[in-house]
Amino acid sequence: MSDPNTNQWKQLDRDLGRLGQIELATKFVAKPMVGFGIALIFLILAGLFAALVFWQQPPFLIIVAAAVFGAYMALNIGANDVANNMGPAVGANALTMGGAILIAAVAESAGALLAGGDVVSTISKGIIDPAGVAETEIFIWAMMAALISSAMWVNLATYVGAPVSTTHSVVGGVMGAGIAAAGFGAVNWATMSKIAASWVISPVLGGIIAAMFLAFIKAKIIYQEDKIAAARRWVPVLIGIMAAAFASYLALKGLKRVYKVDLGLALSIGACIGLLLYFVSRPLINRQSQGLENHNKSLKILFNVPLIFSAALLSFAHGANDVANAVGPLAAIVHALEFDGSATKVAIPLWVMVIGAFGISFGLFLFGPKLIRMVGSQITKLNAMRAYCVALSAAITVIVASWLGLPVSSTHIAVGAVFGVGFYREYEVKRRTQKMAKLAQSGRLAPEERKRRKLVRRSHFMTIIAAWVITVPAAALLSAVIFLVLNVIFV
């Protein structure tokens, strides 16, 4: 016979085991709930802040609702687009996830508050003009529908792990609501054509620039007999290029409220700062390279710090460019209510910019790690040198686009740069191993082996391209439906 005490202990062990499983499940469920709770508190605070600012004005409830949805959109932009900025650095192990999120939060907020105005004006009034809509109230509900639809679409994309373009989502939402409100004539098709062209050009340009930087690094450093000596010569040059790009952009965008800087002067400032950083970084790189062995792993050490700075630069540019996606329609609503659509220029209130900046930061902190891992390690393998090429290429492209006032997609640029690096590596491997390439073409290599030699994951490539294609029509259709519902309920 079995001992009753033994059976009791076994039963107790089973009960404790079940209790431990329940505790683990509770922790697993509670983690995302904490994020959702913090996000909900931020939305409530955004609404309360708008209520305090506009409580004496009759339509303040509309502004409160718009502020909440603008904050919701900002959260989703932070959750989705931060992967483009910090994913390469995290994938290359130059930054931890926590360090990447901290740097991105500071840089994103600085870019949004210092340099975000031009693109906000483009997205809030350049696509759908209030004058093209018969009534101000109709225009307001159109912008509200654009906010809701774009936020919902980006939220869905983040949930399924797709790095879609938040710019596509917002522009599609604005266009769809505008067409539903006043027909195709309300859309500024000249601006839309210009923006659409930039969507095609920007990822290609980002990929080409990244591939060119990688080819330069390989030719001038990696394939040299003395890699460390070559790195001492060329890494300061790359740091100077990065510093010049950042300084030029900051002079153009960040100083415009203090002193008007034209392009020539900005480029001159950038050249001076770039030269200064070049001479400052040379002794630092020389000191850091002392005692390093002559192989590629040593080179990664020299690129870690430049990679971190380039990622911060990209986050700054992203904050300047993509804050428009969150607060552009909100700014248009505030403008329409205050000026009844009569003003020729959309003024961007500081509180609107603050909501966008803080929303992006909270979003990337709470929900960003998922897509950071996607961009950083699941498309193609990145090391510090490849990730530096991606970040610098994306930063330069975004800087040019933001200076032109175009709401281009930082997602397209950064992911295009990742693909550019991956496809260049494939091209180089094929070129340097002609014998293997001939075997693959003749079919003597097994399909599994040919697939293994592809350095870019084709499944992710096709999925991302498909998501990019469907985003604009999906956001436009969703926005049109939401506008019609709002129009029936409130108008």
For residue 414, the model assigns a pLDDT of 80
Judge whether residue 344 has pLDDT over 50: no
pLDDT digits (tens, 9 = 90+) for 232-243: 999 999 999 888
Confidence (pLDDT) at 188: 77
* Residue 30: both structure tokens together: 């509670």
Question: Per-residue pLDDT for 27 more than 70?
Answer: no
Per-residue model confidence (pLDDT) at position 117: 58
Mean per-residue pLDDT for 277-297? 87
- Per-residue model confidence as pLDDT tens digits over 122-181: 555 566 655 556 577 787 888 889 889 988 998 888 887 777 877 788 888 888 888 888
- Gap between the Cα atoms of 354 and 67, Å rounded: 11
Q: Is residue 291 within 8 Å of residue 317, measured between CB atoms?
A: no
pLDDT in tens, 306-335: 888 888 877 887 777 666 666 777 777 777
Instruction: Give the residue numbers spanning the domain of 337.
Output: 35-226+294-490
Percent of the chain with pLDDT over 90: 7
Contacts from 37-43 at CB under 8 Å and sequence distance 24+?
38/362, 38/366, 39/75, 39/362, 39/363, 39/366, 39/367, 42/71, 42/75, 42/358, 42/359, 42/362, 43/68, 43/71, 43/72, 43/75
Q: Is residue 288 part of a domain?
A: no
**Residue 277 domain flag:** no
Specify if 114 maps to a domain.
Answer: yes
In a domain? residue 185: yes
> Does residue 303 form part of some domain?
yes
Judge whether residue 486 has pLDDT over 50: yes
Average pLDDT of the chain, as a whole number? 76
Higher pLDDT, 102 or 191: 102
Rg (CA), the chain: 25
* 36-86 residue pLDDT tens: 888 888 889 888 888 887 776 657 788 888 889 888 988 888 888 776 778
Could you tell me the pLDDT band of residue 19, with boundaries at 50, 70 and 90? very low
Q: What is the DSSP string of 67-92?
A: HHHHHHHHHHHHHHHHHHHHHHHHHT
CA proximity to 410, closest of 119, 32, 37: 119
Find, among 158, 318, 308, 302, the residue nearest to 230 by Cα.
302
Q: How many helices (H) and strands (E) does the chain have?
A: 17, 0
Q: Which of 391, 386, 355, 402 shows the shortest CA–CA distance to 455?
A: 386
Structure tokens belonging to residue 124: 């809030």
Neighbours of 53 (CB within 10 A): 17
- Model confidence at 6: pLDDT above 90: no
Residue 101 is assigned to a structural domain of this protein: yes
**427-484 residue pLDDT tens:** 877 776 655 555 555 555 455 445 444 566 666 677 777 777 788 889 999 999 999 9
Give the span between the Cα atoms of 460 and 377, in whole angstroms: 11
State phi, psi for 116 to the nearest 5 degrees. Answer: -100, -5
What pLDDT digit, counting tens, does each position of 366-384 carry? 887 777 777 766 677 788 8
How many structural domains compose the chain? 1
**Percent of the chain with pLDDT strictly greater than 70:** 73
pLDDT at residue number 252: 67
pLDDT in tens, 244-277: 877 877 776 655 555 677 777 878 888 999 999 9
Q: Quick check: is 233 in a domain? A: no
Whether 277 and 245 have beta carbons less than 8 Å apart is answered as no
Tens digit of each residue's pLDDT (9 = 90 or more) over 394-408: 777 766 765 666 656
Looking at residue 348, its pLDDT comes to: 63
Report whether pLDDT(343) > 80: no
What are the tokens at 139?
A: 């225009």
Bridge partners, residue 128, by sequence: 187
Tell me which DSSP letter residue 406 carries: -
Q: What's the pLDDT band for 342 if we cut at 50, 70, 90?
A: very low
Looking at residue 349, its amino acid is P
Q: Is 186 inside a domain boundary?
A: yes
